[in-house]
Amino acid sequence: MFFSLASNILVVSSILIGGAAAINSLTGMNVYASLWLLPMSVTAYTLRGGLRATILTDYVSTRVDSQSRDVQNADLYRFTLP
């Protein structure tokens, strides 16, 4: 139980710090400000749109990722097949 909690804390903190660094490099916003604004904006989006909007966003993101991966794989196999 302890290791799963510690792992989740490390993963979430890594995601937040990475997102804050990306926001900092794109906009110049202070890293500490974006560390607070990033989870607050996600929470506000979820509360405003509900879980249906969140699930729909995840679904669309997954479909776009899988389609782009299919295109990348097709390009890879196009050059390897005789």
pLDDT tens, position by position, 10-51: 999 999 999 999 999 999 999 999 999 999 988 888 888 878
Residue 74: pLDDT band (50, 70, 90) is: low
Note the pLDDT of residue 70. 62
Q: Domain of 27?
A: 2-80
Q: How much is the pLDDT for 51?
A: 80
- Distance between CA atoms of 78 and 43, rounded to whole angstroms? 43
Q: What is the distance between the alpha carbons of residues 42 and 58, in angstroms, rounded to a whole number? A: 13
What number of residues does the chain have?
82
Averaged pLDDT of the chain: 82
Number of domains in the chain: 1
DSSP 29: -
Per the model's pLDDT, the better-predicted residue between 10 and 66 turns out to be: 10
**What are the φ/ψ torsions at residue 30 (nearest 5 degrees)?**
-60, 140
